[in-house]
Amino acid sequence: MSDERPQGSYGWLYGDDDKSRPAPGTTTSKLPPPQLPPPNLPPPGRQSGGEEPPGAPRKRRSGRRILGILLLAWIVFLVAVPVWAWGKIAKVDAEPGGERPAAQSGTTYLLVGSDSRRGLTKAEQKELSTGGDGGGRGRTDTIMMLHTGSGPSVLMSIPRDSIVQIPGYGRTKINAAYAYGGPKLLVKTIEDNTGIRVDDYVEVGFGGLVKVVDSMGGVEICPKQDLKDKDSGLDVKKGCQTADGRTALAYSRNRHSYSTQDIQRVQSQREVLGSIASEAKSPWTILNPVRYAKVASGASGSLTIGENVGPISLGRFAWSLSAAMSGKGLNCTVPLKDFAVTWDPVRAPKMFDLIAKDRSSDIGSLCTKDGLPKS
């Protein structure tokens, strides 16, 4: 038998076994080229029937589980820090006895910046030029009223040298009320002289301001002149700059560098407060866990609030304060008659009445930064 293969034979493909050769006359045009995979082979990475390899779903589930755990841990952290900080806040009975203004619409907070050294070591007191405690209650360097209600929020500074009637002590500087009778007498004095009922009391000491500012990496201040004051320890140049906690505190306390003294000081205090509020609202405060914890710790460690102030009310206070300082509210000084910080006998009662009636939208030109009437 001849080994010569007939023309068109596929013996070279099927081998020399005659049984493996196609029958004569059988067409082979439908056979796939030998280089291609079989027609029904599934795509790489998948099993027949479109199913993924057994390991792939497990890896994805594991990744989602880890992401979920991290997210849950972050939420727990965001909640746990304020709860922990809340336990560090001191509380005081700030509700005075006797006759008080009736309940009013909206909410009015009394914000006090005291010269309390709570939270400061002896070395820190010396470094910050605060002096010692002196054994007494101290006085209030900052007095502000924050009203929130149906209209824009109102943040009104009351110069500490304002001469008012203090129950049981006659006419004297308003900041003496705190020294004579603590928060209760200060609240009573504010209510008697303004007709505005104080709903909640919030007090921040020297240490709180310094530690909050430092935890934020500093805040911006923009003095309009070179300032140097040995009493507060302030020494800054004119122009916008980042101030650390020590400088921010000195800037808030300084008055001897100004010809208008107390009038300018209350404006500087609101400037620092506004910068703190702006930094606190920054997403970086929430996203940076170290900064978040330090801000909460610094604020709570030197904070004193009224016994009736709860977490929700304190949170609402912080939110409203931020709104008032960001240009969405009114930011002013009590209407004044002169540079001696004498309350204007006409304009001041009008403003007090509008706040008491929750009509802040009608305050208008009564609100000025320095308290003096617009020329």
Could you write out the DSSP letters of every residue in 79-146? HHHHHHHHTT-EEE-----S--PPP-SSEEEEEEEE---TT--HHHHHHTT----TTS---EEEEEEE
Q: Are residues 278 and 182 located together in one domain of the fold? A: yes
Extract the tokens encoding 162. Answer: 């304002």
Q: Are residues 63 and 189 located together in one domain of the fold? A: no
Q: Is residue 4 part of a domain?
A: no
Q: Is residue 310 part of a domain?
A: yes
Phi, psi of 105 (to 5 degrees): -70, 150
Domain range for residue 68?
A: 56-86
Extract the tokens encoding 135. Answer: 């054994």
The domain that holds 332 is classified in CATH as 3.40.630.190
Question: pLDDT tens, position by position, for the chain (375 residues)?
Answer: 445 545 444 444 444 455 555 555 555 555 555 565 555 555 555 555 555 565 566 667 777 888 888 788 878 877 787 788 888 888 999 999 899 999 999 999 999 987 665 555 666 666 655 555 544 556 688 899 999 999 999 999 999 999 999 999 999 999 999 999 999 999 999 999 999 999 999 998 877 788 889 888 899 999 999 999 888 889 999 999 999 999 999 999 888 888 778 888 899 999 988 888 888 777 877 788 888 888 888 777 778 899 999 888 888 888 888 878 777 889 999 999 999 999 999 999 999 999 999 999 999 999 999 999 987
Res 326: pLDDT: 74
Q: Are residues 258 and 174 located together in one domain of the fold? A: yes
Cβ atoms of residues 218 and 295 within 8 Å: no
Q: Which of 43, 70, 86 is the last residue of a domain?
A: 86
Q: Are residues 154 and 82 located together in one domain of the fold? A: no
Q: Which of 67, 86, 105 is the last residue of a domain?
A: 86
Q: Are residues 241 and 144 located together in one domain of the fold? A: yes
Q: Are residues 62 and 171 located together in one domain of the fold? A: no
Chain centroid to CA 99: 36
Type of residue at 78: L
Res 60: pLDDT: 72
Domain count, the chain: 2
Residue 187 CA: distances (Å) to CA of 82, 201, 206, 339, 363: 27, 8, 20, 25, 23
Q: Are residues 225 and 142 located together in one domain of the fold? A: yes
Q: Is residue 337 part of a domain?
A: yes
Q: Are residues 280 and 158 located together in one domain of the fold? A: yes
Q: Is residue 371 part of a domain?
A: no
Residue 154: which of 197, 195, 107, 191 has the closest Cα?
107
Q: Are residues 79 and 190 located together in one domain of the fold? A: no
Q: Is residue 147 part of a domain?
A: yes
Q: Are residues 167 and 60 located together in one domain of the fold? A: no
Q: Are residues 180 and 322 located together in one domain of the fold? A: yes
**Rounded to a whole number, what is the largest CA-CA distance in the chain?**
140
Extract the tokens encoding 24. Answer: 């004569």
Res 248: pLDDT: 92
Q: Is residue 178 part of a domain?
A: yes
Q: Is residue 274 part of a domain?
A: yes
Q: Is residue 133 part of a domain?
A: yes
Q: Indicate the DSSP class of residue 261.
A: T
Q: Are residues 69 and 182 located together in one domain of the fold? A: no
Cβ atoms of residues 297 and 82 within 8 Å: no
Torsion angle (degrees, nearest 10) of CA 349, 355, 361, 363: 20
